[in-house]
Amino acid sequence: GASIGILGGGQLGRMLSVAASRLGYRCHVYEPGPAPAGDVAHRLTTAPYDDKAALRAFAASVDVVTYEFENVPAEALDLIESIVPIRPNRRALAVSQDRLTEKDFLSGLGLTVAPYAAVDSAADLAAAMGGHARGILKTRRLGYDGKGQVRVAAGDDFAAAWGQVAAPSVLEGFVDFSAEISVIVARGQDGAVAAYDPGLNEHRDGILRTTTVPCGLPARLIPDAVLIASRIVTALDYVGVMGVELFVTPQGLVVNEIAPRVHNSGHWTQAGCAVDQFEQHIRAVAGLPLGDGQRHADVVMENLIGDDIARVPQLLARPDTQIHLYGKGEARPGRKMGHVNMIQR
Ligand code: ATP
Ligand code: MG
Ligand code: MG
């Protein structure tokens, strides 16, 4: 039967492999560290991304390769792509691996992003701050969950701020938003696009805490958000699911960032839609028709982070609550251990 290769064995890779299994595919997961996907994938390779023999064997064992993690080194991707197609494509990866390239791409499409400037030194930071009151300095590569960024205000010690973030970096103007939303969008191999309802996202300590649908924002913002997401996937000739994070401001929607993969803020689709984001992604990369994004329930998704895992017995006692546990070991602070989808009635 057909086989799907997944780069990355975290919880997203695990949920992708469950969805693929349900559709009758076999999954081969490639992950440098021991991973929770190992218990559900048909096959797990634990080897670094510079192990050419392991990468070759992985690529040769599957019909298509996808990923749960956008920071796989380019040389590993080159080798894989010489053997088997990678979906979503390399351009989507190249654009989103670097915040500067990503912002250039988005603004090049005519979309609104926060004002930004490349920062390669403390002097660049001082110049980019100019007369601005506040900004956020972000590392260009490998930042997630708010890691690799620092808030900067006029009058701060710019050398100290610059030293806190791995170079090269980008300074963003601070966006005074009233809410954060995200659109989970999918594009199929035939060019069809399907988007789920935008979700309202709340963060704590830089980590996504809850996603709520419906998002409760003025109705006119919803087509705006969906059209932005659709423009992005179409421009990239994208195949698969993408997460698009947006800030809601009085002047309209500002694109914060894109993730070329299934997204934590899309987990509510597991309880709210006939075809969830994981099945949708597998359908897209496997060349099957997409499901639609129709939502049949109101849902609050809550991440179980660190010690939240101790709440599982109480959560199990709630009716209408779907529980997902990632099979990770130790519950360290800030570690995503699972999530719940609470149906709202
Ligand atoms: P993720 O885990 O979503 O990948 P990340 O580490 O890539 O997060 P961002 O999404 O860029 O980081 O920023 C994290 C959070 O910081 C945002 O959700 C938002 O709350 C806040 N933030 C980021 N950029 C700005 C900005 N320019 N203005 C105001 N707030 C911002
Ligand atoms: Mg991010
Ligand atoms: Mg983000």
Torsion of CA 94, 128, 182, 289, to 10 degrees: -20
The closest ligand to the CA of 148 turns out to be 1
Residues within 6 Å of ligand 1 by CB: 114, 136, 143-147, 172, 174-175, 180, 203, 206, 245, 256-257
Ligand 3 centroid to residue 253 C-alpha, Å: 15
Residue with CA closest to ligand 1 atom 12: 146
- Give the pLDDT confidence score for residue 144 in this predicted structure: 86
The closest ligand to the CA of 263 turns out to be 1
Question: Please, what is the Cα angle at 265 between 262 and 271, to 5 degrees?
Answer: 90
Phi, psi of 119, deg, nearest 5: -130, 115
- Give the pLDDT confidence score for residue 38 in this predicted structure: 87
Q: What share of the chain has pLDDT > 90, as a percent?
A: 90
Distances (CA, A) of 229 to 111, 238, 264: 10, 11, 16
Q: What share of the chain has pLDDT > 70, as a percent?
A: 100
pLDDT in tens, 220-233: 999 999 999 999 99
The closest ligand to the CA of 180 turns out to be 1
DSSP code per residue over 55-74:
HHHHHHT-SEEEES-TT--H
C-alpha 142/C-alpha 123 separation (Å) is 23
pLDDT band at 131 (very low <50, low <70, confident <90, very high): confident
| Close Cβ partners of 84 (under 8 Å, ≥ 6 residues apart) | 5, 59, 60, 62, 63, 64, 65
Element (H, E) at 8: none
- Domain regions of the chain by residue span: 3-86, 115-173, 179-344
Handedness of CA 45, 267, 286, 68 (dihedral sign): negative
- Is 174 annotated in a binding site? The answer is yes
Question: Mean pLDDT over residues 200-216, rounded?
Answer: 96
- Asked if pLDDT for residue 34 goes beyond 90, the answer is no
C-alpha 28/C-alpha 1 separation (Å) is 13
Type of residue numbered 216: G
Ligand 1 centroid to residue 97 C-alpha, Å: 15
C-alpha 187/C-alpha 74 separation (Å) is 23
Phi, psi of 87, deg, nearest 5: -135, 135
pLDDT in tens, 45-99: 999 999 999 999 999 999 999 999 998 999 999 999 999 999 999 999 999 999 9
C-alpha 271/C-alpha 301 separation (Å) is 9
Domain 115-173 shares a fold with domain 179-344: no
Type of residue numbered 215: C
Type of residue numbered 35: A
The helix/strand/coil state of 39 is: helix
Q: How many CB atoms lie within 10 A of CB 163?
A: 12
- Is 148 annotated in a binding site? The answer is yes
Residues with CB under 5 A from ligand 3 (ion): 245
pLDDT in tens, 278-337: 999 999 999 999 999 899 999 999 999 999 999 999 999 999 999 999 999 899 999 999
Ligand 2 centroid to residue 146 C-alpha, Å: 7
Domain 179-344 has CATH 3.90.420.10: no
Question: Mean pLDDT over residues 143-154, rounded?
Answer: 90
**Looking at ligand 1, which atom is closest to the CA of residue 172?**
27
> In this structure, are residues 140 and 103 in contact, taking their beta carbons and an 8 Å threshold?
no
DSSP code per residue over 87-144:
SS-HHHHHHHTSHHHHHHHHHHTT--B--EEEE-SHHHHHHHHTT-SEEEEEESSS--
- Give the pLDDT confidence score for residue 148 in this predicted structure: 92
CATH fold of 3-86 reads Rossmann fold (3.40.50)
Residue 82 Cα to chain centre, angstroms: 26
- Asked if pLDDT for residue 106 goes beyond 90, the answer is yes
C-alpha 138/C-alpha 171 separation (Å) is 6
Give 115-173's CATH code, choosing from 3.20.20.220, 3.40.50.800, 3.10.620.30, 3.30.1490.20: 3.30.1490.20
- Give the pLDDT confidence score for residue 158 in this predicted structure: 86
Asked if ipTM goes beyond 0.95, one says: yes
Q: What share of the chain is helix, strand, coil (3-state, %, to 5)?
A: 30, 30, 40
Question: Mean pLDDT over residues 88-114, rounded?
Answer: 97
On average, the pLDDT of the chain sits at 96
| Close Cβ partners of 265 (under 8 Å, ≥ 6 residues apart) | 182, 184, 199, 201, 208, 211, 243, 245, 301
pLDDT in tens, 180-207: 999 999 999 999 999 999 999 999 998 9
- Asked if pLDDT for residue 1 goes beyond 80, the answer is no
Sheet holding 26-30, edge to edge: 43-45, 26-30, 3-7, 64-67
